[in-house]
Structure 1
């Protein structure tokens, strides 16, 4: 495995300053935002696709530092009834796939999107209960009319470009659990897989190790985010795991995103890394830092230091003792 970072936390740095920071930390890979929620601070597909000289310079800056690109990330909502956002999310996805092919990056990370509840809807609708029955009816309409048709077409587009699509299992989006991931994969094909982020599984009450085993058996893990979550049992009893309070309410929230090792101990993270290796994932572990209790530099440094103690980088040895 290689250790990398989702570079949006360094958006205030120039492209080369960011690369130097990553290299100095001893990492081997970068995950670059290409638009949507991650922004384009370090990688603008529109610019790189139209200018070969800039594209080559971009590639050289990464290669000269001994780094690779683990994935291009364009998280947005191509299924929202908000037509402007849907179009920009879709166009960014298309450009990101095209750029990934040019850069020989194997995976594009994004969200599944969330549709509305009917053709005339104004806002996305995320049903999370089977009763009253209209919630279930909305959910089935979304999958039948929006989710599966969109990803059949555009997952196929990615496959035609030699690129895999890794959906982050994030609450609020239609694909947010192992079951919904496998449902879409069954309908669309092996091009679809997970950008598995334990932090979003924990707050949904899902054990990441179990999720890795479920998805790993199907070869459905295309990328991995290293981010932690702290669960406050007292506040869970007040607000539930689907806490809708602002992330700014640090003392009141049921859960908070933390840097690796500050939500769960390193034995838990060792189990996660071991589970990934067990199911055959031998790609990049990409640090994502969204810890409101730490600065960017400190949170990043602690994540790197903690993960270096558990990540396994060498090939699996022959069982010489058998």
Structure 2
């Protein structure tokens, strides 16, 4: 496995400055935002698609630091009921797939999206209860009319480009659990897989180790984010896990994102890394920093230090003791 980072946390630096800083920490990979929610501070899609020379220079500036690009990330809602939003997000995702093909980057990360509850809806509707039965009707319409048709087409687009799509299992979007990811994958195709982030599993009550097993047995983990979560035992009883308070209200929230090792200890993270190795995932573990108690530099540095203790890097080799 290789240790990497989702570089959007260094958007305030130039691309070269961020690469130098990342390499100085001993990392081997970088995940780059191309637009939509992550922004495109370090990657101008249209410019790179139009100019082969600039693409070569872009790739060379990464490789000259001893780094590889693990994924291009365009997290968005391509199924948003407002067409101006969905069309823009869809366009960025398609361009990102094309650029990944030309840069020989194997994975594009994004969200599944979440539609509204009918064709003329204005906002996404995320059903999370089976009753009243209205929610079941909404869910059925969303999957049959929106999710499966859209991602069937994107599966074909990605397959033809030689690229895999990593959908981040994230609350607020139609694919947010191992089951919903596998449901979509079965209905669309194997180019669709997970960008698995344990932080979103923990707050939903899902054990990330078991999520790795469930998805890994189906070869459905295309990329992996390293971010932690802590659950406040008092606040969760007041607000539940679907806490709608701002992330900035950390003292009062039921749960919050933390840097690796500050929500769960390193034995838990060692179990996650071991599970990834067990199911055959031997790609990049990409740090994502969204810790409201730490600066970007401190949170990133502590995540690097903690993960370096548990990451399994060397090939297994022969079991000499068998």
Name the TM-score, length of structure 2 as normaliser. 0.99
CA offsets per residue over residues 137-167 of structure 1, 9 Å max, x none? 1000100000000000112111110000100
Q: What SS does the aligned partner of 1:158 have?
A: helix
Structure 1 residue 133 and structure 2 residue 133: aligned? yes
* SS of alignment partner, residue 219 of structure 1: coil
What is the SS of the residue equivalent to 2:299? helix
Residue 231 of structure 1: aligned partner = 231
Aligned to 2:36: 36
Q: For residues 63 and 225 of structure 1, what CA distance do their matches in structure 2 show?
A: 21
Residue 219 of structure 1: aligned partner? 219
State the distance in 1 between where 2:63 and 2:251 align.
44
Following TM superposition, the consecutive aligned residue runs of length 4 or more in structure 1 with deviations greater than 3 angstroms are: none
**How many angstroms apart in 2 are the aligned matches of 1:252 and 1:127?**
25
2:55 alignment counterpart: 55
The Cα offsets for residues 19-70 of structure 1, whole Å up to 9 and x where unpaired, read as: 0011000000000000000000111211100112211111110111111000
Per the TM alignment, residue 317 of structure 1 is displaced from its structure 2 partner at its CA by: 2.5
Alignment of 1:16-27 (within 5 A): 16-27=16-27
Structure 2: runs of 5 or more not aligned: none
Give the length in aligned residue pairs: 322
Residues 286-297 of structure 1 correspond to what in structure 2 (within 5 A)? 286-297=286-297
Quote the Cα distance in structure 1 between the aligned partners of 2:91 and 2:120: 22
**Which residue in 1 is equivalent to 2:173?**
173
8 Å contact kept, 2:76–2:111: yes
Q: Deviations over 1:234-269 (max 9, x none)?
A: 110000001000001111000010000000000000
For residues 156 and 54 of structure 1, the distance between their equivalents in structure 2, rounded to whole angstroms, comes to: 28
Instruction: Judge conservation of contact 2:155–2:190 (CA < 8 Å) in 1.
Output: no
Distance (Å, rounded) in 2 between the aligned partners of 1:150 and 1:314: 39
Alignment map for 1:111-260 (pairs within 5 Å): 111-260=111-260
* CA–CA separation in structure 1 for the residues paired with 2:66 and 2:249: 41
CA RMSD in angstroms comes to 0.5
Q: What is the Cα deviation at residue 198 of structure 1?
A: 0.2
TM-score for the superposition, normalised by structure 1: 0.99
Q: Tell me, yes or no, if structure 1 residue 82 matches structure 2 residue 82.
A: yes
5+ residue gaps, structure 1: none
Aligned twin of 1:13: 13
Instruction: Supply the distance in 2 between the matched residues of 1:82 and 1:74 (Cα, whole angstroms).
Output: 18
Q: 1:277 — aligned with what?
A: 277
User: Where do residues 299-318 of structure 1 align in structure 2 (5 Å cutoff)?
Assistant: 299-318=299-318
Aligned-partner Cα distance in 1 for 2:305–2:227: 14
Residue by residue, what CA displacement relative to the aligned partner does 1:67-94 show, whole Å, maximum 9, x if unpaired?
Answer: 1000000000000111111011000001
